[in-house]
């Protein structure tokens, strides 16, 4: 973020959120890199491991909206502290599993704890970030997640030979408790309550913003969101984003090893490449949506970025399947993933624009639809490979879903002025 004469306290909030995003991906992605060791030690098949991956997403989807609603009721300071402590505890608990059943149970509880983290971050941004900075901030937020996700395979490659796969979960689980303690001590739900926020920065943040009162999610609110074509389009369009990213988080290392012949040295690099490229694309997508919105209005600013992102993602994924070179195929797959992530600033900024005072709940609904994609992605991939012995089929499914998401953006209509 550039220097601002009004003050920089809101940028420190963004820094906390970026660290939060990084820790979520660090704890979430390490299991895919460790999957071969876990499957060997616990005697799991690919399909059983896919259910382990999906157990997290099932719980995440089930508890996403309640956690977002709780954040709107009591504030994100307390709720995010609880969320991070919970999921960190179950990251540690993953090191203690002894069977397929225990792994399913712990990963389910892990997902239940992490649910609501990103919608509550969106709620925080809706209270702390001026409307004209939201897309850029969302881009920075997701870039933090992708950077952690991209570095995770390399970190695991360094740690696992020294501490084993169980020790990796212990190391990663401890990080979240440090974040939670620091966040709770420093953060305040409202900028007006923070001693470091001066009058000029407070005026900038609150200009045109809704009240600070807690808002119940009543029947009128639910009916308004449920009958909004824009809300439905945002939610349906987000399905493919999570579907594709969860393939990267779960089965990509196995795909690269079995189908493309990568060995341990290059596997860590190419497994992390989609997330590393997404650091740049997520940031640029956030900047692009704010820039276009400022010049041409919110609808063009959000829709053009979302539409182009998914068109490029679909085409690049198809090219990846047809490429013979292992390195070329891996790079194209990474570019397809990064292209889909270019849309994230527009997705989440539009959810804040459209959701207004209930941005957290609409963001949670959108992310819940995404988690349905996350639930199905590893299972569909494992089933297709098991039934047809063909790794190309899961990638074609992703390409088709990206094309569908491009179409959904034609129905998104943010308000003329953001809440």
What local confidence, expressed as pLDDT, does residue 297 receive?
87
Beta strands, E only, 243-363: none
Q: What percent of the chain has pLDDT over 70?
A: 93
Instruction: Concatenate the DSSP letters of all residues of 108-119 into one string.
Output: HHHHHHHTTHHH
Range of 144-148, 174-178, 224-228 with top mean pLDDT: 174-178
Per-residue pLDDT at 208 exceeds 80: no
The whole-number average pLDDT for the span 358-381 is: 86
CB-CB neighbours of 104 under 10 Å: 18
Residue 231 has pLDDT above 60, yes or no: yes
The CA distance from 309 to 136, in Å, is 16
Q: How many CA atoms lie within 13 A of 303 on its CB side?
A: 17
Model pLDDT, residue 417: 55
The DSSP letter of residue 390 is: -
Q: How do the domains of the chain map onto residue ranges?
A: 9-208+217-411
Coil, strand or helix: which one is 47? helix
Q: How many residues does the chain have?
A: 419
At 271-306, the pLDDT tens digits run 889 988 998 998 899 899 989 988 988 889 999 999
DSSP code at position 260: S
Please state, in angstroms and rounded to a whole number, the distance separating the CA atoms of residues 21 and 8: 20
Q: Say how far apart CA 229 and CA 235 lie, in whole Å.
A: 10
DSSP state of 75: -
| pLDDT at position 217 | 53
Nearest to 418 by CA among 118, 127, 130: 130
Burial state string for 348-385 with b = 16 or more CB within 10 A and e = fewer than 16: bbbbbbbbbbbbbbbbbbbbbbbbbbbbbbbbbbbbbb
Does the pLDDT value for residue 3 go beyond 80?
A: no
Cβ atoms of 242 and 61 closer than 8 Å:
no
pLDDT above 70 for 17? yes
Confidence bin at 141 (pLDDT 50/70/90) = confident
Q: What is the pLDDT of residue 340?
A: 96
* CA-closest candidate to residue 362, choices 372, 370, 354, 373: 354
Q: Is the pLDDT of residue 1 over 50?
A: no
Name the E strands within 138-240: none
More confident residue, 23 or 318: 318
Of 308-322, 377-391, 393-407, the one with minimum mean pLDDT is 377-391
Architecture of domain 9-208+217-411: Up-down Bundle (1.20)
Gap between the Cα atoms of 20 and 120, Å rounded: 11
CA distance 142 to 242: 13
Q: What is the mean pLDDT of the chain?
A: 87
Taking the CB of residue 344, how many other CB atoms lie within 10 A of it? Answer: 30
pLDDT for 322 beyond 50? yes
Q: In 3-state terms, the chain is what percent helix, strand and coil (to 5)?
A: 85, 0, 15
Q: Tell me the pLDDT band of 133, cut-offs 50, 70 and 90.
A: confident
Closest CA to 67 of 247, 217, 251, 193: 217
Closest CA to 289 of 146, 115, 409, 123: 409
Beta-strand (E) ranges in 246-304?
none
Q: Do the beta carbons of residue 321 and residue 259 sit within 8 Å?
A: no
pLDDT band at residue 2 under the 50/70/90 scheme:
very low
Given a cut of 80, is residue 92 above it in pLDDT? yes
Tell me the pLDDT tens digit for each residue of 37-62. Answer: 999 999 998 889 989 988 988 898 88
pLDDT at position 220 over 70: no
pLDDT at residue 209 in the model: 62
Indicate the pTM of the whole model: 0.76
Query: Torsion-angle region of residue 164: left (phi > 0), alpha (psi -120 to 50) or beta?
Result: left
Query: Residue 74 and residue 365: Cα distance in Å, rounded?
Result: 19
Output the pLDDT for position 233: 94
């Amino acid at each position: 973020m550039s220097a601002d004469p009004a003050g920089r306290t809101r940028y420190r909030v963004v820094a906390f959120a970026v660290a939060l995003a990084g820790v979520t991906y660090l704890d979430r992605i390490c299991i895919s890199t460790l999957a071969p060791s876990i499957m060997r030690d616990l005697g799991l098949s690919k399909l059983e491991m896919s259910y382990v991956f999906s157990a997290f997403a099932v719980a995440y989807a089930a508890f996403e909206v309640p956690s977002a609603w709780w954040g709107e009721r009591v504030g994100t300071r307390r709720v995010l502290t609880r969320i991070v402590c919970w999921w960190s505890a179950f990251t540690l608990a993953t090191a203690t599993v002894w069977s397929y059943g225990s792994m399913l149970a712990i990963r389910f509880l892990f997902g239940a704890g992490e649910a609501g983290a990103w919608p509550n971050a969106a709620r925080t941004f809706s209270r702390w970030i001026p409307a004209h900075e939201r897309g850029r901030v969302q881009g920075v937020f997701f870039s933090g997640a992708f950077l952690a996700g991209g570095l995770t395979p390399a970190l695991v490659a360094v740690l696992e030979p020294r501490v084993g796969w169980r020790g990796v979960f212990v190391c990663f689980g401890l990080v979240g408790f440090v974040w939670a303690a620091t966040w709770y001590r420093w953060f305040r739900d409202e900028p007006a309550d923070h001693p470091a926020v001066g009058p000029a920065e407070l005026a900038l943040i609150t200009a045109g913003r809704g009240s600070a009162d807690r808002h119940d999610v009543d029947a009128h609110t639910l009916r308004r969101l449920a009958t909004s074509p824009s809300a439905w389009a945002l939610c349906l369009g987000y399905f493919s984003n999570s579907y594709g990213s969860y393939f990267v988080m779960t089965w990509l290392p196995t795909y690269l090893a079995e189908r493309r012949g990568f060995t341990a040295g290059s596997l860590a690099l190419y497994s992390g490449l989609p997330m590393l490229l997404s650091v740049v694309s997520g940031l640029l997508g956030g900047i692009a949506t704010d820039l276009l919105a400022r010049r041409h209005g919110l609808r063009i600013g959000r829709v053009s970025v979302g539409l182009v992102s998914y068109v490029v993602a679909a085409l690049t994924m198809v090219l990846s399947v047809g490429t013979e070179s292992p390195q070329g195929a891996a790079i194209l797959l990474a570019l397809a993933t990064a292209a889909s992530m270019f849309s994230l600033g527009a997705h989440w900024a539009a959810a804040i624009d459209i959701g207004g005072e209930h941005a957290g709940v609409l963001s949670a609904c959108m992310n819940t639809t995404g988690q349905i994609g996350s639930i199905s992605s590893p299972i569909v991939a494992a089933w297709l490979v098991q039934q047809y012995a063909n790794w190309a089929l899961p990638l074609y499914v992703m390409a088709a879903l990206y094309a569908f998401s491009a179409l959904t953006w034609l129905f998104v209509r943010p308000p003329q002025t953001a809440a």
